[in-house]
Amino acid sequence: MLVLVAPGQGSQTPGFLTEWLELPGAADRVAAWSDAIGLDLAHCGTKADADAIRDTAVAQPLLVAAGLLSASALGDIDPGAVAGHSVGEITAAALAGVLDDASALSLVRKRGLAMADAAAITETGMAALLGGDPEVTVPHLEKLGLTPANINGAGQIVAAGTKEQLDALQADKPEGVRRVVPLQVAGAFHTHHMGPAVDTLAEAAKALAPADPKVAYVSNKDGRTVASGAEVLERLVGQVANPVRWDLCMETFKELGVTALLELCPGGTLTGLAKRALPGVTTLALKTPADLEAARELVAEHAA
């Protein structure tokens, strides 16, 4: 069984969309999305520098656009399940048919702007902890006032909080943690610091008409598959201020009988986690269009 996954914020790099825009019809499609949401996605994905695309209001719609563009380049595929990490959940919702592309881009644009506004209230950030035991790490983070915002499995937890709290973590790592790596994000996502963004998204969601997923949709909230489009949308709103449980998503992949995991552009992070947490599962990350041929072969072998 094939699982199709979409990466989250921090996976973007300057110029990563350049080669994708050379595919037939891609530039026109991205131009239409750009006009609809008031953001030049082509410029952001080809010419903008690292600081510009680190901006939450830019990074989030850019990542969803890249995921949708790379998925369409694969052609008709029939995955057994879809999932996304953090903002990647909006990409996954579109792939599952819960939202159309236009609604997904509109929602993520509002999400990015709302989270950027929330992040501006207090100087906050996130850092990945490599190694360690979650039973030791999580209480240690909470002692420092930090939130385990992403529990990613494969020995990785992402902490989120204020600059002062993250500085304290660097000086006082949990036992067993090898490194604490600051992430290229502009806020403490999936924590109480994002509370104001939840209210904004809840209002935006009222204008949408979600359909029920056409394939198994695996949710960040608890790793559970969600069959109701209305519940998917409700979870998309709430997850902004609640932890991402990617570890539980991967456990569900196992239960569903995953044999291959394909990560959409800009791929790499989620396949890296899967290689450690899902031994025996074939993984492939879409980074450039040069990966499409291998991806189609993987789809042909493992899709439903």
pLDDT value at residue 184:
76
Residue 303: what pLDDT?
80
Question: Strands 81-84 and 216-218: what pairing?
Answer: parallel
**Mean pLDDT, rounded, for 87-114:** 97
> Is residue 34 flagged as an active site residue?
no
Quote the pLDDT of residue 247.
Answer: 96
Q: Give the model's pLDDT for residue 185.
A: 81
Closest-CA residue to 110 (of 136, 94, 92, 90): 90
Q: Once rounded to an integer, what is the mean pLDDT over residues 232-242?
A: 97
Task: Write the pLDDT tens digit of every residue in 276-287.
Answer: 999 999 999 999
Could you tell me the two tokens for 192? 């109480």
Q: Give which of 277, 275, 215 is closest to 246, Cα–Cα.
A: 277
User: What is this structure's pTM?
Assistant: 0.95
The catalytic residue among 86, 103, 106, 219 is 86
pLDDT in tens, 159-170: 999 999 999 999
Q: Are 194 and 224 in contact (CB under 8 A)?
A: no
Q: What is the pLDDT of residues 170-229, one digit of tens each?
A: 999 999 999 999 987 879 999 999 999 999 999 999 999 999 999 999 999 999 999 999
Positive or negative torsion for Cα 60, 66, 68, 69: positive
Domains in the chain, start-ordered, CATH in brackets? 2-120+191-302 (3.40.366.10), 124-182 (3.30.70.250)
Residue 158: its pLDDT value, please?
Answer: 95
pLDDT tens digits for 47-98?
999 999 999 999 999 999 999 999 999 998 999 999 999 999 999 999 999 9
Tens digits of residue pLDDT in 128-157? 999 889 999 999 999 999 999 999 987 889
Query: For residue 37, what are its two tokens?
Result: 């949401």
Catalytic residue from among 85, 190, 193, 302: 190
Give 304's pLDDT tier (boundaries 50, 70, 90). Answer: low
Does 190 participate in catalysis according to the annotation? yes
Q: Find, among 215, 182, 8, the residue nearest to 111 by Cα.
A: 8
Which residues, in sequence order, are bridge partners of residue 127? Answer: 159, 182
Decide if pLDDT at 25 tops 70. yes
Looking at this protein, which amino acid is placed at residue 260? A
Question: How many angstroms separate the CA atoms of 188 and 230, rounded?
Answer: 27
Residue 230 corresponds to which amino acid?
A
